[in-house]
Amino acid sequence: MKKSLKKIINDPVHGFIDIPNHLGGELIEHRYFQRLRGVKQLGLTHLVYPGAVHSRFQHALGAMHLMKLAIDALRSKNHEITEQEEEATICAILLHDIGHGPFSHALEFSIAEGISHEDLSLMMMNRMNLEFDGKLTLAIQIFKNEYPKHFLHQLISSQLDVDRLDYLSRDSFFTGVVEGAVGLDRIIKMLEIVDDELVVEGKGIYSIEKFLIARRLMYWQVYLHKTVVAAEQLLIQIFKRAKECIKSGIPIYTTPTLLYFLNKTFEEGYHSNNDELIDRFVQLDDSDIIVCLKEWERSGDFILKNLCAMLNSRNILKIEIGKLPFETEKVTTKTGEICQQFHIDAKTASYFVLSNEVSNKAYSPKSQSIKILDKKGKLEDIDIASDVLNSAAFGGVTTKYFLCYPKSNYEFKF
């Protein structure tokens, strides 16, 4: 007799969550999905907000829950969504982040170089589809926006999808940043479909305004918090240096699976070796990185040792933020000061003096705009319909520039 996978999960954000179908339950039990327990949703953000240690596993379950609520809300308005479509859409949202690697976005292009987590997710979904005898074919079509009912894909990926609704609420909850809280129930109940497009009833406009404002605030307060940015830059430099050490024959400890990725780039031709890539990738989670960071602090390589020491002790680089790019002369001057202060050469200092940019786009009206449906049946973009949102601020990209360098009291390990 087939084991029942009907379960109820107690989630701190949404309360009790039902697993809505048997196939979804099987996916949750799958080793690929279980790996997400070991991948932090917010990477290194816990160095600023200690509570931010929730996982991609929790987020995927939350998104699944919201998807079921959204489908029920649309059905209540006489929109046809078959049982097969519901099952496939729920499976697609469950697996939408399955390709995330250790520390999520922080190391996205440092481990599997040249491959996005979306590419990896799709590769893994295709592999799982073989294991499940084609039961995920419809889910993959919806995920790739190849299914006739476009609104189902929009529920998974758009400017008002259940992915964003869950991660804003969840990240707000675990960081304690109340500005990120959104009116989930009202937004979902206000969803409507017009000409195969997901829209929002006019009564829900204030909830959408709050959603967009919350997203913008969460980017600057949490996702792109200056200390988080500095910590992520350190981690990127650590992996850059680790790859150089291996290439140069400098012995450093690493797990066999991580060594495979440190030795390899996948910018071209990676599709020809999907099986090996996936087999290796699904063995990785945050624990591989944490172990290596501890070991590399004892490395014989001066640069790698100090980069890891800074991160492990939370002696993060000092960071300056500006509205304009830092002039080359200022970066060069700062590099010279660091060389003189810490008695290191310019090449070494280049790993510790970093200048780049971060950007935030809360809303993209030129891509998939959020449409508001008024009482007369007229559709209008949210940035036009709203009296609150400033089109220039919410429709454009806000870019900030940063310069990182060691704190004056840091003591390099020689």
* Angle, in degrees to the nearest 10, between helices 302-312 and 226-248: 150
The single-letter code of the amino acid at 385 is A
Q: Do residues 48 and 228 lie in contact, with contact meaning Cβ atoms separated by under 8 Å?
A: yes
- For the domain covering 226-359, report its CATH number: 1.20.1250.30
What is the reported pLDDT for 360?
A: 83
Tens of pLDDT, residue by residue over 337-390, are 999 999 999 999 999 999 999 988 777 766 678 999 998 889 999 988 888 776
Tens of pLDDT, residue by residue over 52-111, are 999 999 999 999 999 999 999 999 999 999 999 999 999 999 999 999 999 888 787 778
Distance between the two ends of the chain, CA-based, in angstroms?
A: 64
Tens of pLDDT, residue by residue over 263-283, are 876 654 455 458 888 999 999
> What CATH number does domain 8-225 carry, 1.10.3210.10, 1.20.1440.120, 3.30.70.600, 1.10.3720.10?
1.10.3210.10
Strand partners, 379: 373
Tens of pLDDT, residue by residue over 185-236, are 999 999 999 999 999 999 999 999 999 999 999 999 999 999 999 999 999 9
What is the reported pLDDT for 413?
A: 86
For residues 140 and 96, give the distance between their C-alpha atoms in angstroms, rounded to a whole number: 10
180-211: b (≥16 Cβ within 10 Å) or e: bebbbeebbbbbbbeeeebbbebebbebbbbb
Positive or negative torsion for Cα 46, 48, 49, 51: positive
pLDDT of 5 > 60? The answer is no
Mean pLDDT confidence for 26-37: 96
Among the listed ranges 26-35, 53-62, 112-121, 286-295, which one has the minimum average pLDDT value?
112-121
Domain ranges of the chain: 8-225, 226-359
Which residue has tokens 């999520």? 104
Give the phi and the psi of residue 325 in degrees, each rounded to 5. Answer: -60, 145
Mean pLDDT confidence for 27-50: 96
What is the reported pLDDT for 387?
A: 83
Enter the pTM of the model.
0.93
Positive or negative torsion for Cα 159, 161, 164, 169: positive
Tens of pLDDT, residue by residue over 121-165, are 999 999 999 999 999 999 999 999 999 999 999 999 999 999 999
pLDDT of 1 > 50? The answer is no
Closest CA to 74 of 184, 182, 163, 199: 199
Per-residue CA distances from 383 to 102, 274, 373 (Å): 36, 42, 13
